[in-house]
A and B are shown apart, each in its own frame.
Chain A
């Protein structure tokens, strides 16, 4: 069966339907003196099947109706008119139409299924290749980076270093740390695209939040305020991935609200879920951009690829949770994350 490739859409597709019905009619005109009237229908059905296998579903429907109409007009007594001499023919038309619509819909569905299968296979192969490539590249980049960062660190340990050399070594160290973060983001992005393999275990979300605060401590002038309600439940999550999500949210706050901003994090629990809000007192989100901030490369600038929030959303959704962005009434951006938590969420 001809299934691959895109069908010709729109007008040409209808054109082909008309052409095929025309050809079937021409063939029938030659055969009409040799075949019984009922057998001429077969030629039309053949045409409809061909159209359904090549064109859009609409073109196949057009071919079905057209076949019945032309068959009536050209071959059914009295020919040359749509009038029908015998009511029996009405039944014939009805069956012809139903069979022809059925064949066309079955053909179209079969074609779509096999096309979807082929696409899914190809997509999976592309995903696999991209994932393999990126993780290999990231690993190969990280090894020399570890040496650069370590060497700069070792240099900084030297006591006889001049102030200028110390500053230069410091820059090498800081920049290699930043580059390691960028590579980490790339690696996380490849991990959360497609099917995510979560390493689930029980975690206290406030522990993960405290770690994220510690890891981003150098980005803020004021300590991040974390408030946890006593009913905050444990959650069965991928702790390493989720901690990274929290780090991404804090990095995002530092980047957009500035290092002088005040970040507040709240962790609350209620029936089977945990709600985490991360809010800052910066300029907030551009009106209308609240949902777009999670798109890949949206926040790209000189400091990064803008992958952090996209990674965060994919990771949270993989946990069966949700994340949204909004502006606070009193100013500043707020990210709200809802995660399944507590005993109820476990199967």
Chain B
């Protein structure tokens, strides 16, 4: 890699900033640290980072506010750090434009995987031009509108196909129920979780062979769905 990644971390816990810095050396990542939302926003403006890690539980300002501020002028990928049991906060953050989240306590491996996915999505300038999606035995041909599992074609209804391809276009990234419903059914259906569950169930029964060990679709309870990319 020619230049190190620039990551801004907005987190009030010094110990967390320290281990993040230690987990990725200076040749890989150039860290910019902020303890408060205001400081963090200024850093993002000045350092033009590749990625932002944002703690939702900041003492001075609601992390969500920081995120909304940022999103008014920046499309930098943001991964939020949240506590367990704060599913509502996660959903609010994702709907407000966060790219992903990790729940504290998190492992470095998990965070690195999230960072990779977020950076890959950011790097793709026009995301909808790829002709096909292919990972771990699932292949979606966007032009022919065909879906294959281990080379065998799977017949999906039009709604099921749109749901699956929406997930595939954001592979590895969690999509909230609201985001999926809006993309497939339209803004008027944002709260129809029941409908979403029915169709996701139908897709799962068609593409997953073992209900206990899904290969392709991960449920993020209380938040949304994620298509599992190869590396996770």
Interchain nearest-CB distance for B224 vs A (Å): 11
Residues of B within 8 Å of A147, CB to CB, are 13, 15-16, 18-19
Residues of A within 8 Å of B108, CB to CB, are 150, 153-154, 156-157
Q: Which residues 247-304 in A have Cβ within 8 Å of B in the complex?
A: 265
Report yes or no: A213 in contact with B221, Cβ–Cβ below 8 A. no
Interchain nearest-CB distance for A9 vs B (Å): 45
Report yes or no: A210 in contact with B213, Cβ–Cβ below 8 A. yes
Number of A-B contacts (CB under 8 A): 114
Residues of B within 8 Å of A223, CB to CB, are 212-213
Q: Interface segment, A122-130, A138-146, A330-338?
A: A138-146
Distance of A234 Cα from B19 Cα, bound (Å): 42
Q: Interface segment, B119-127, B135-143, B193-201?
A: B193-201
Distance of A243 Cα from B18 Cα, bound (Å): 33
Distance of A51 Cα from B201 Cα, bound (Å): 67
Report yes or no: A206 in contact with B211, Cβ–Cβ below 8 A. yes
Contact with A along B189-223 (1 / 0, CB 8 A): 00001100110110011000011111000110110
Residues of A within 8 Å of B211, CB to CB, are 206, 209-210, 226-228
Report yes or no: A143 in contact with B107, Cβ–Cβ below 8 A. no
B61 at the binding interface (Cβ < 8 Å): no
Total chain A interface residues with beta-carbon distance under 8 A: 46
Interchain nearest-CB distance for A264 vs B (Å): 10
Distance of A234 Cα from B196 Cα, bound (Å): 11
Q: Which residues 1-53 in B have Cβ within 8 Å of A in the complex?
A: 13, 15-16, 18-20, 22-23
Contact with B along A173-194 (1 / 0, CB 8 A): 1001100100010010000000
Distance of A204 Cα from B213 Cα, bound (Å): 15
Q: State whether A202 and B194 are in contact (beta carbons under 8 Å apart), knowing that A153-B108, A208-B221 are contacts in the complex.
A: yes
Report yes or no: A202 in contact with B197, Cβ–Cβ below 8 A. yes
Distance of A213 Cα from B84 Cα, bound (Å): 18
B85 at the binding interface (Cβ < 8 Å): yes
Distance of A157 Cα from B20 Cα, bound (Å): 11
Report yes or no: A142 in contact with B105, Cβ–Cβ below 8 A. yes
A224 at the binding interface (Cβ < 8 Å): yes
Contact with A along B93-106 (1 / 0, CB 8 A): 00000000000111
Residues of B within 8 Å of A117, CB to CB, are none
Q: Which residue of A lies closest to B88 (CB)?
A: A199
Report yes or no: B221 in contact with A239, Cβ–Cβ below 8 A. yes
Report yes or no: B105 in contact with A234, Cβ–Cβ below 8 A. no
Report yes or no: B19 in contact with A204, Cβ–Cβ below 8 A. no
Residues of B within 8 Å of A144, CB to CB, are 15
14 example contacts (A-B, Cβ-Cβ < 8 A) are as follows A142-B104, A146-B16, A150-B23, A153-B107, A154-B19, A154-B23, A157-B108, A173-B107, A184-B84, A187-B85, A210-B211, A213-B213, A226-B210, A239-B222
List the 8 closest A-B pairs by CB distance, nearest first: A226-B212, A147-B15, A146-B105, A154-B23, A207-B219, A150-B19, A153-B108, A151-B19
Interface residues of B (CB under 8 A from A): 13, 15-16, 18-20, 22-23, 83-85, 87-88, 104-109, 193-194, 197-198, 200-201, 204-205, 210-214, 218-219, 221-222
